[in-house]
Structure 1
Amino acid sequence: MITPLKEFGTGVGLLLHGLRLVLGNRSLLLRGALPVLVTSVLLFAGLAALAVNTGDLVAWATPFAEDWSTVWRTALRVAVGVTIVVGTVAVSLLLFTALTLVIGGPFYESIAEYVEDTVLGGVPGAQRVGWARAAWIGLRDTLALLGLLILSGIALFALGFIPVLGQTVVPVLAVCVGAWLLAVEVTAIPFIRRGQGLAVRRRTLRRSRSMTLGFGVPVYLLCLVPLAALVVFPAAMAGGTLLAHRLTEPVSA
């Protein structure tokens, strides 16, 4: 019997396999890194602005706490601050992934093709995605995923007001939600090449939640490290292709 922990480890292993592939092929690494460089500038500028203004945002969101005791007011505002930062990071990474895939669509399709043709033996009847089609599908899917993120973010924001729980469990749940949605986005191209849309992609990944999170969580966390995304994102594209192949063609995987 395959345990969730073993499946999680398999997901991590697929990311590591993708990392080995791009590090062993400088052309793949360069193709995957160029779009990341453009969107990283936008992401880090936004996060820097958030860091500078978080205190003001928290105070604006909690005017009712001005008359509270110092201990309770501080506890509440720390909880709200953590929730705002975690939520903003989740939205930023989702948009970062979407913009990167839109800008670098042809580059990432070539990575998926390379992995499928040279490592996996090809995909019978694989469709050509093309930049325009990939951009349209990516934007459409991002709006749907952003809606899911906002709904889950509202629930997590409410939980963030609970002392202790809001500073421990909520950030972990937020990372898992963000990592899941990021995995859904990163695996888009290999699923589209198989003629499968967002609904099928989500159902397929849902059947192996632990494996998907094992792949998505390290990608999500590593993308928070400055400049790490230059290597991590191409590796995630290669690893996401391996993940899609494994879940859609389990016999040959």
Structure 2
Amino acid sequence: MSEFGAGLAYLGKGQKWVARHGRWYGFGLLPGLVAFVLFAAALVALGFFADDIATWATPFADGWSETWRGVLRGLFMALLLVGGLALAVLSFTAVTLLIGEPFYEKLSEAVEESEGGAPDDAPRRPLWQELWISAKESLYVLSRALMFTIPLFFLGFIPLIGQTVIPAIGFAVSGFFLAAELTAVAMQRRGIAVRERLALLRGRKLLALGFGVPLVLLFLIPLVAVFVMPGAVAGATLLVRDVLARENEHERRQPQPHHPHQHPAFGLRKPEA
């Protein structure tokens, strides 16, 4: 199976897991419902004021003919709404995970226990510290995502490419960082810092995209994000377990470096000539 297909499979496995564990599914819905109400209100407000924002952002077009002024501001409004929706998709997971930190931590732990147990050396922190770390690392991931999404927003003004290639790239970027957000719960449990997590996912880009891009597309459908979020957390936990197990197995199979004067079997230094 390709890496992209494997990522998609983990998304399906997560949904199956919560379907078999109905109590945890209901438990995991609550944070998503709260976040959905907040984001829906923000997007409605953006749509209501989009015309005013477009007028404010393009004062140079005031002297244009009504047709061309309308085309420019209409395009700006469309891109503003698309950009707002993309930002909502990216930040929805971060905000939902922050609101639901205790919920998703317990859900992820339940998935780990059902698969053989969580790591024994998992760091134990008070809730306030977990929330602070999650907020700080989510802001870091969001800032990295904006480094791509802001240029893509302006590239969207390029005719043809801006309506075809750029949105496709945007979905890929959103999918990668969405996967980074969702795997954070299980990776934080293992003490893996945010930069290490991103580096690990960059090494498995297709796997991350296979998991994250379908979620981005699903999150574009109103309310769907709320219902797939518990399964997404479960699937991300399964993905982390398997990926790290393979990484560890790969490291164990690598020949261990030894000193040139060290005996390979006993670790003793050979006498100098």
TM-score relative to the length of structure 2: 0.82
Percent of pairs identical after alignment? 41
Where does 1:9-88 land on structure 2 (aligned, <5 Å)? 9-68=5-64, 72-88=68-84
Letter in 1 for 2:48: V
Tell me how far apart the structure 2 counterparts of residues 157 and 223 of structure 1 sit (CA, whole Å).
Answer: 19
Where does 1:82-231 land on structure 2 (aligned, <5 Å)? 82-128=78-124, 130-231=126-227
Q: Is the 8 A contact 1:16 1:239 kept in 2?
A: yes
Task: Determine helix, strand or coil for the equivalent of 1:98.
Answer: helix
Tell me how far apart the structure 1 counterparts of residues 150 and 177 of structure 2 sit (CA, whole Å).
Answer: 16
Q: Does 1:245 align with 2:258?
A: no
The Cα shift of 1:83 comes to 2.6
Task: Determine helix, strand or coil for the equivalent of 1:249.
Answer: helix
Consecutive unaligned residues in structure 2, runs of 5 or more: 250-273
Tell me how far apart the structure 1 counterparts of residues 127 and 183 of structure 2 sit (CA, whole Å).
Answer: 16
The Cα shift of 1:120 comes to 4.8
Q: Is the 8 A contact 1:115 1:241 kept in 2?
A: yes
Letter in 1 for 2:85: V
Consecutive unaligned residues in structure 1, runs of 5 or more: none
Q: CA RMSD in A?
A: 2.3
Greater CA drift, 92-101 or 131-140 = 92-101
Letter in 2 for 1:20: K
Q: Is the 8 A contact 1:59 1:77 kept in 2?
A: yes
Of structures 1 and 2, the larger Rg is shown by: 2
Q: Is the 8 A contact 1:183 1:212 kept in 2?
A: yes
- Equivalences, count: 249
Cα 1:195–1:181 shift into 2, 3 Å: same
